[in-house]
Amino acid sequence: MFGTNLLERRSKPERIADQAWHHLVSAVSTAGDSIRDTARSARHNSAGLADDAGDLMGSAADEARHRAVRAFDALAGRRPALPWTLLIGAALVGAAVGWAAGTAARAAGSRDGALEDIEFVDVQRPDSPADPANPAN
């Protein structure tokens, strides 16, 4: 009863300020809950992103380490090693192309021998005009 009489006796600006204070406290509390939920979900989602970023940084670190070793070797005057796998692969490809070209050349050569066995004969057709250079006419 004492509290209700006290609230009724306050001036209108005091009641408005009190209501605004209660609204502010309520909004801050709601925002805090919302921020807490957002932070919880962000923490959950960022764990996967952190793993992905760690993998990316790991591969970038490996590449940087590889380049640093090569730069150090170059500054020390050491020549880089020969890329043996690339050289062997190129040699195998060259051998395969050479074998295919040789096989094709042999096949073309064997066809030329078959053409030499063919005898071509000149035939006069009845509807063709007589050849003035031919003494048979």
The answer to whether residues 137 and 130 touch, using CB atoms and an 8 Å cutoff, is yes
Choose among 80, 86, 85: nearest CA to 67. Answer: 80
Task: From first to last of the 137 residues of the chain, give the pLDDT tens digit.
Answer: 455 555 567 788 888 888 888 888 888 888 777 777 787 777 777 776 767 766 767 777 888 888 888 888 888 888 888 888 999 999 999 999 999 999 988 887 776 555 566 676 777 776 655 555 555 55
The per-residue pLDDT for 90 is 95
Phi, psi of 41 (to 5 degrees): -70, -35
User: What are the residue ranges spanned by the domains of the chain?
Assistant: 1-81, 83-112
Choose among 111, 114, 133, 113: nearest CA to 122. Answer: 133
